[in-house]
Amino acid sequence: MSRSTKKGPFVDERLYRKVEAQSELSRKTPIKTWSRACTIVPEFIGHTFQVHNGRTFLDVFCTEDMVGHKLGEFAATRVFRGHTNKKEGIAAPA
Amino acid sequence: MARIAGIDIPEKKKIIFALQYVHGIGPKAAADILRRTGIDPDRRSNSLDDQELSAIASDINEHVLVEGALRRKVSQDIARLKDVRSYRGERHRKGLPVRGQRTRTNARTRKGKKKTVAGKKPVKA
């Protein structure tokens, strides 16, 4: 079920304000954020975010193609290192 | 012999069903096309004259993405997802379900034929 168009996209207000403040100063330092659910809007293009994945912050550089996606889509929360090898009992390298 | 959108030759069937042989035209699109062109959906496709066929063809051109163009768009959309390294793109790359389905069991459409792992316990003992 997708989100009602009436509401518009979800954009984290505080994050948006930070981006605007940076744009005014034409400065682009990475912004740390936990707001994985925040939609990437055109104003975010060219900015870098450090998106929390539950453990660390991953750098996400926003390009034009990413508009409409959410920040969390670009910061994986799971690490898959391959299935365990029964004989050796250790995880196979990825 | 009716020829619509390139290669498709549906005949003898009602036009609303014949149109659905085209990749990209389903029940909805077929009904829409006939409504816009003002052709009775219950007519058989071999009963349509050239003028009506060309009306359908131009309507498809204008409103519906079909066949090659549609296939191209779909693969471009997937390529874009892969390109921006989004989660959905990664799922496409790995050949796993993209929309959050479970993968512990099932998911055979995406994963292909079962590859048995020696010594793995069945899911339900």
A contacts of B85 (beta carbons < 8 Å): 74
Contacts of A73 (CB under 8 A, 6+ apart): B86, B87, B88
CA distances (Å), origin B13, targets A23, B21, B28, B51? 61, 11, 17, 19
Name the more confident of B118 and B107.
Answer: B107
- Interchain CB contact of A27 with B (< 8 Å): no
B contacts of A63 (beta carbons < 8 Å): 84
Q: What ipTM goes with this model? A: 0.73
Q: Find, among A64, A56, A46, A52, the residue nearest to A12 by Cα.
A: A52
- Interchain CB contact of B111 with A (< 8 Å): no
Question: Is the predicted pLDDT of residue B125 greater than 60, yes or no?
Answer: no
Question: Is the predicted pLDDT of residue A79 greater than 50, yes or no?
Answer: yes
- Interchain CB contact of A81 with B (< 8 Å): no
Q: Find, among A36, A24, A25, the residue nearest to B87 by Cα.
A: A36
- Interchain CB contact of A64 with B (< 8 Å): no
- Interchain CB contact of B88 with A (< 8 Å): yes
- State pTM to two decimals: 0.74
A contacts of B87 (beta carbons < 8 Å): 72-74, 76
Contact A74 B87 (CB under 8 A): yes
Q: What is the pLDDT of residue A94?
A: 46
- Chain A closest-CA separation from residue B81 CA (Å): 9
* Phi, psi (rounded to 5 degrees) for B25: -115, 120
Element holding A51 (H helix, E strand)? strand A48-52
- Interchain CB contact of A66 with B (< 8 Å): yes
Name residue, tokens 């006939």: B34
**What pairing do the DSSP bridges indicate for beta strands A31-33 and A48-52?**
parallel
A contacts of B98 (beta carbons < 8 Å): none
Q: What is the pLDDT of residues B20-53, one digit of tens each?
A: 988 999 999 999 999 999 999 998 888 888 888 8
Q: Find, among B35, B43, B32, B37, the residue nearest to B55 by Cα.
A: B37
CA dihedral sign, ordered B7, B12, B13, B14: positive
